[in-house]
Amino acid sequence: MNTRTNRNDRELLEMLRRLDGGGYPAYKELRGAYAFPRFTLHVDHVQGDPFAAPSRVHVVVPAEIAALPARSYAGESRAIGTASFLTRQFETAVRRISGSAGGGGLGSGKSGTIAIDAPGQSVIARTSVMVREGEVEARFTVGLPANGRRINGRAAAKMLLDQVPAIVEQALIMTEHAEAHAEPHALTDALTTAADTNEDADALRAALTEYGLVAFVANGAVLPRRSGIDDRPLEQGAVPFVSPPAFETTITLPNAGAVTGMGIPEGVTLIVGGGFHGKSTLLAALERAVYNHRPGDGRDRVATIASAVKIRAEDGRAVSSVDISPFINNLPGNRATHAFSSENASGSTSQAANIMEALEAGAKLLLIDEDTAATNFMIRDARMQELIAKDSEPITPFVDRVRALYEEHGVSSILVAGGSGDYFDVADRVIAMREYEARDVTEEAQSIAARMQTGRAREGGGPIGEVLPRVIDLTSLDPRRGRRAESVRARGRRAIEFGHGTIDLALVSQIVERGQTRAIGAALALLAREGAGSTANLPALLDRIEDLIENHGLDALDSRRPGDLVRFRRFELAAALNRLRTIRMAPLDRP
Ligand code: ADP
Ligand code: MG
């Protein structure tokens, strides 16, 4: 990659001595590669001042030095599990060697901080650590130290020549552990578990389709989390999951062998039960199980098909030319619903748009929780049908569409519906949660449905029809801001500033890491750059980005090769495009 002859660590030390006390911009000289005894350090980007975003560096440890067991990177699944594990190791080593908050305190601004973009509970391909044929590349940031705005070369030397090598040794070099630890195998065991678990999770998800399932929850899985803001497993009083006998399925995984749990088949599945009995917790676990989880997470043997999309009401969101007519018609003022646009969608129209957009992007499973759904979108009971005639109610409720979604489009649904028995008529199966215990109540629900007529009439009997892709006018995907040709910035997990617009992703819950938001921002910028002046249909753009990442990795999104990108799904990229308020889309003309 770097064509100039490498300097070495001694020369780096000399440079830092020479730069000491000079103006901060002279740090730019550090750009380049340095051969250390056990790895190469690359200084990729040097910050302009001590208060700017810290400098970006990476290290490459050759395979023979890292000495990872060959099994730990045999195949993509295992390499991703290993990389995720090594990123966490690196983060731990930073804390140990450079202080609790990743250092700092070596002068002004971010002086002395060392940071890596570490994963949460999910295990997803990322650019922080990558393992290729045993070679390990780790990307991280360093705050190059300053006193005021003068280079502190002595502190920089401590960071780059003492701390960084110690972190690399501790986190990324296995032989080091064999020598330094009383239990030399503990680390390689943990590494193997990370690789095994991730390979099993991918195998489990791949097996679902083969078994006609859309989701699987292993017996013994721990679903509740520590809190609404802490994604780690609940420690005390967690009731492990046990499948109702009727749904018991056994799937054989490459490492764990036979695993038994609840298989949820395709079709319409209802989750019912009293309040606070664990319904939403089960659904949330399924929603997150489009991703793999680290060993010990409790959800590491929970899997949902990769095309599962959480659907919710999202009033206030912008909607651009979405055909919501399968759900909503005859809006007041004759507003078109074949190409519905709004700057401020309602609960029901936003939920309808979320479903139609998910179908357009290729979703095969919808996950809906009554807690976050629009009630008038989900149900319309007999008495309300009597009071408000169909011709003055624009909404065809989901209960009258959920079967057509499956029968016509092969799109399954899993719904939490503790409040309405109207769904008994349309469900293939009903799971009741009682004190966190799942039971099969399908027969009971069906016999109640046969015995107690609701008196409600089915609405909107016609077919849903083909879901046509929309065409994006790519000139409206405009990342310019002021004099800058491209201004795209992730604001944490929840938002992207794109040109003059802000994309609000707060309620897109299957974005689980900030790095995904950043990567989506990079993908949008790439689409804008490539497509300026043209039009393209939305699913084709999603395919294009997916292929690019599949074939060339996340680095294809950003030539600066940042270390803080995390892989996202096509549905979340679509969600961002759909929430860009300035975007112009049009329905493909009906043939
Ligand atoms: P519901 O949706 O049925 O009202 P929730 O899923 O929100 O209920 O769960 C209610 C509470 O119970 C939450 O605080 C959740 O963390 C906790 N909880 C859920 N499942 C379990 C479980 N298996 N073991 C222990 N606590 C659980
Ligand atoms: Mg709930």
Q: For the segment 133-190, what is each residue's pLDDT rounded down to a tens digit? A: 999 999 999 999 999 999 999 999 999 999 999 999 999 998 755 555 555 577 888 9
> Helices 538-552 & 514-531, crossing angle to 10 degrees?
110
Q: Which ligand minimizes its atom distance to the CA of 227?
A: 1
Q: What span, in angstroms and rounded, lies between the C-alpha atoms of 426 and 520?
A: 37
Do 336 and 481 sit in the same domain of this protein? no
Whole-number pLDDT of residue 334: 78
Question: What torsion, rounded to 10 degrees, do the Cα atoms 397, 400, 405, 408 define?
Answer: -140
Q: Looking at the domain assignment, is residue 2 inside a domain?
A: no
3-state SS class at 378: helix
**Which has the minimum average pLDDT: 60-74, 273-287, 333-347?**
333-347
Do 104 and 247 sit in the same domain of this protein? no
DSSP secondary structure of 114-132 = EE-----SEE--BSSEEEE
Q: Looking at the domain assignment, is residue 340 inside a domain?
A: yes
- Closest ligand 1 atom, CA of 416? 2
Do 364 and 380 sit in the same domain of this protein? yes
Whole-number pLDDT of residue 2: 47
- From the CA of 278, how far away is ligand 2's center (Å)? 7
In what side-by-side order are the strands of the sheet with 470-473? Answer: 535-537, 470-473, 584-587
- From the CA of 418, how far away is ligand 2's center (Å)? 8
Whole-number pLDDT of residue 103: 65
Confidence of residue 393 (pLDDT cuts 50, 70, 90): confident
Ligand 1 pocket, CB under 6 A: 223-224, 234, 237-239, 273, 275-281, 433, 436
Find, among 406, 409, 435, 429, the residue nearest to 417 by Cα.
429
Instruction: Taking residues 283-301, report their average pLDDT.
Output: 98
Please tell me the residue having the least CA distance from ligand 1 atom 19. 278
Domain closes at, from 465, 489, 515: 465
3-state SS class at 412: strand
Find, among 467, 464, 466, 462, the residue nearest to 357 by Cα.
467
- From the CA of 433, how far away is ligand 2's center (Å)? 11
Rg (CA), the chain: 27
Whole-number pLDDT of residue 462: 83
Q: Which ligand minimizes its atom distance to the CA of 279?
A: 1
Whole-number pLDDT of residue 552: 96
Q: Residues 34-71: pLDDT tens digits?
A: 999 999 999 999 999 999 999 999 999 999 999 999 99
- Closest ligand 1 atom, CA of 371? 2
Please tell me the residue having the least CA distance from ligand 1 atom 1. 276
Domain closes at, from 417, 442, 465: 465
DSSP letter, residue 341? E
Do 457 and 489 sit in the same domain of this protein? no
Please give the single-letter amino acid code of residue 185: H
Do 437 and 335 sit in the same domain of this protein? yes
Q: Looking at the domain assignment, is residue 78 inside a domain?
A: yes
- From the CA of 211, how far away is ligand 1's center (Å)? 29
- From the CA of 269, how far away is ligand 2's center (Å)? 16
Whole-number pLDDT of residue 104: 67
Contacts of 309 (CB under 8 A, 6+ apart): 358, 361, 363, 365, 366, 367, 510, 571
Domain closes at, from 420, 445, 465: 465
Q: What span, in angstroms and rounded, lies between the C-alpha atoms of 25 and 198?
A: 44
Q: Residues 397-408: pLDDT tens digits?
A: 999 999 999 999
Please tell me the residue having the least CA distance from ligand 1 atom 15. 224
For residue 133 the two structure tokens come to 């044929």
Q: Label residue 334 left, alpha or beta by phi (over 0 means left) and psi (-120 to 50 means alpha).
A: left
Q: Is pLDDT larger for residue 3 or for residue 303? A: 303
Containing domain of residue 91, as a range? 7-180
Do 260 and 301 sit in the same domain of this protein? yes
* Dihedral pair phi/psi, residue 474, rounded to 5°: -70, -15
Q: What span, in angstroms and rounded, lies between the C-alpha atoms of 31 and 110?
A: 19
Q: Looking at the domain assignment, is residue 193 inside a domain?
A: no
Confidence of residue 1 (pLDDT cuts 50, 70, 90): very low
Q: Looking at the domain assignment, is residue 559 inside a domain?
A: yes
- From the CA of 101, how far away is ligand 1's center (Å)? 33
Quick check: 420 pLDDT over 50? yes
Q: Looking at the domain assignment, is residue 173 inside a domain?
A: yes
Number of compact structural domains in the chain: 3
Q: Residues 227-270: pLDDT tens digits?
A: 999 999 999 999 999 999 999 999 999 999 999 999 999 999 99
| pTM of this structure | 0.96
- From the CA of 228, how far away is ligand 2's center (Å)? 13
Mean of the per-residue pLDDT values of the chain: 94
Please tell me the residue having the least CA distance from ligand 1 atom 11. 276
DSSP secondary structure of 136-175 = EEEEEEE---EETTEE-HHHHHIIIIIIHHHHHHHHH-HH
Please tell me the residue having the least CA distance from ligand 1 atom 26. 238
Do 446 and 495 sit in the same domain of this protein? no
Do 175 and 289 sit in the same domain of this protein? no
- Closest ligand 1 atom, CA of 277? 3
**Which has the minimum average pLDDT: 103-112, 282-291, 563-572?**
103-112
- Closest ligand 1 atom, CA of 240? 23
- The proportion of the chain whose per-residue pLDDT surpasses 90, expressed as a percent, equals 87
- From the CA of 276, how far away is ligand 2's center (Å)? 7
Ligand 1: which of 276, 372, 414 to mutate, most ligand atoms within 8 Å of CB?
Answer: 276
Q: Looking at the domain assignment, is residue 99 inside a domain?
A: yes
- Closest ligand 1 atom, CA of 281? 6
Do 172 and 223 sit in the same domain of this protein? no
Exposure pattern of 120-159 as b/e (b: 16+ CB <10 Å)? bbbbbbbbbbbbeebbbbbbbbbbbbbbeebbbbebbbbb
Please tell me the residue having the least CA distance from ligand 1 atom 25. 238
Do 148 and 234 sit in the same domain of this protein? no
Q: Looking at the domain assignment, is residue 194 inside a domain?
A: no
Q: What span, in angstroms and rounded, lies between the C-alpha atoms of 587 and 396?
A: 22
Do 439 and 484 sit in the same domain of this protein? no
Do 28 and 165 sit in the same domain of this protein? yes
Whole-number pLDDT of residue 391: 83
